[in-house]
Chains A and B, each alone.
Chain A
Amino acid sequence: MEDRSELNRNLAQMLKGGVIMDVTTPEQARIAEKAGACAVMALERIPADIRAAGGVSRMSDPAMIRGIQDAVSIPVMAKCRIGHIAEARILEAIEIDYIDESEVLSPADDVYHIDKRAFSVPFVCGARDLGEALRRIEEGASMIRTKGEPGTGDVVQAVRHMRKIQAEIRAVASLAEDELYEKAKQLGVPVAQLQYVHREGKLPVVNFAAGGVATPADAALMMILGAEGVFVGSGIFKSGDPAKRAAAIVQAVTNWQDAKLIAKLSENLGEAMVGINANEISLIMEQRGI
């Protein structure tokens, strides 16, 4: 009777229309919750700092994650390295609400992703196109987000990935049924997943935007392009007034169609994250785990 994968997809449905914020301390988690985050992502360093520090980045200290779990009542997510089965099991053992098998951390396995169907706890994974998204879903991901280029404050990659996924979904929806077999071969995905997209005109799971979102306008842009919600990583706690910016982004996601309101929300937010252009960096995280 009990279908974990169904229940896990359902939790993602409850997060829709919301903002998931990266936090590194219980204090930040409380600020995020108070500002209206629908979930927080607990991690040791936000992507911008991971970029600056270099070296290998890993799953966070479970004690730190527990501290955040105790600090807030909203769902708590945490990242494990791509393919790191043991890190994922640890996160499941401490009853995390969602695991992000994330390209932001250094990949542990450069060939295989985690078999996410072997877990009871839900997973979210990054994707740049429909093929990646459906491969992750086939492996058991119950939520998808664009990869974007994390830690840059540059939204261009998230836009590219969201546009690409949406365009590919429209293209698949317009195919004849007997053309799906060849398309599945081209994309490297199971036919059954593609048949769902063909029939429903959407991914089988909820799809959020992530990577480089720094302003209320960035968040609204991603909603205009078809995101069902937004992850904000470095954009909040690398800015001048995190609480105010976070609250403004939350409202912008709810009322993304109302430009007048977003204009007001964008006033006097203080210093935005400085950011780096995605084409000025040498470490390209989006190419990890495809």
Chain B
Amino acid sequence: MQKKRVGVLAVQGAFIEHEQAFERAGFEAVEIRQAADLDQHFDVLVFPGGESTVQRLLLNELGLVAPLWALIDAGIPVFATCAGLILLANEVDGECNPLGRLDISVKRNAYGRQLGSFSVTGPFAGRENVRMTFIRAPGIVRVGLGVEVLSTHQGQATGVRQGNIVGLAWHPELNEGETLLPDLMRNCAGHR
């Protein structure tokens, strides 16, 4: 059987960790660094953690926005974490994000600087005891009506799903990526 192919946005950040997590689960991972990398079929798109300001800038300069967002709008399963979540949120720090595809509002660095980074264990999308690592993470301060909440911390959403997109404020690729990420994406594919 042909391996499912994951396209991982690889302009900046922890993209290798995502590639490794998916590869260990039997997927083929391909790096997306420029528009020419999109001339192939993908089953899943991943927007990894990193610095959202850097990633947004590079997406623009490298001409990746139009082709990537066309895929998103066509319904490809998308997984976004941390910086990726910020890229896809409808509202960021009180400002409307034209690239938003998740009906949520996020606040960048909501938990403070690096000293505020933390790790907790809790339920996530029907699983128990999932380790969730937050690194200078964004906070999800508003969740729209059609958005399903997958995980919370102190009453605030930290993971959401809307249609073909799963977005997390924390980093599964650092801890439990191998099983969590592929499972998530299989679920997500069912939503198409």
Contacts and interface: CB of A to CB of B under 8 A. Distances in A.
B136 A75 contact: yes
Contacts of B13: 14-18
Given A97-B113, A120-B115, A36 B174 contact: no
B118 A15 contact: no
A95 B113 contact: yes
A13 B11 contact: no
Contacts of A37: 54
B62 A14 contact: no
A1 B12 contact: no
A118 to B, nearest CB: 15
A95 B51 contact: no
A10 B48 CA distance: 13
A21 B118 CA distance: 26
Contacts of B108: 73
B152 interface: no
B187 interface: no
Interface stretch (A147-155, A176-184, A250-258): A250-258
A73 B57 CA distance: 14
B177 to A, nearest CB: 12
B53 A251 contact: no
A250 B58 contact: yes
Contact of A38 (B12, B16, B115): B12
B51 A254 contact: no
A247 B60 CA distance: 12
Interface residues of A, number: 43
Contacts, number: 118
A121 B115 contact: yes
A14 B14 contact: yes
B74 interface: no
Contact of B51 (A38, A120, A261): A38
Contacts of B120: 1
Interface string A237-256: 00000000001001101110
A8 B135 CA distance: 9
10 contacts: A1-B121, A15-B51, A17-B13, A17-B15, A36-B57, A76-B113, A254-B11, A254-B33, A254-B58, A255-B62
Interface of B: 10-17, 33-34, 49-51, 53-54, 57-58, 61-62, 82-83, 108-109, 112-115, 117-121, 133, 135-136, 171, 174
Interface of A: 1-3, 6-8, 10-11, 13-18, 33-39, 69, 73-76, 92, 95-98, 120-122, 247, 250-251, 253-255, 257-258, 261
